[in-house]
Amino acid sequence: MKTTLDSSRKVYQVVKSNGDQAFCNIDKLNKVVKDMRTRQGYFTIYMFWNNKPKRVTKTDLKKFFEGSHLKQEFDY
């Protein structure tokens, strides 16, 4: 899967427990999680802003989707 990153927006990294990973912006996060065939509890999402990674919590993720007027289509 190829995605184009918009570096002026937050970048998210999805990391599975086996080490597979992908980067995307919030608008592609649902698709990336689905395409990677993740399972709840077996993957982690990190947010990059100003080149610093931060682990995303369930609450943070809900706020990010609401702020972008998008619906979260996966369980985290």
DSSP characters over 28-71: GHHHHHHHTT--TTSEEEEEEETTEEEEPPHHHHHHHHHHTT--
Q: What is the pTM of this model?
A: 0.88
Q: What is the residue whose two structure tokens read 């999680």?
A: 33
Collect all residues with Cβ–Cβ distance below 8 Å to 60 and sequence separation of at least 6: 47
Of the candidates 17, 46, 22, 55, the one whose C-alpha atom is nearest the C-alpha of residue 36 is 22
Q: What residue ranges do the domains of the chain occupy?
A: 11-67
The pLDDT mean for the chain works out to: 91
- Reported as a single tens digit per residue, the pLDDT across 3-20 is 777 777 889 999 999 999
Name the amino acid, one letter, at 30. N
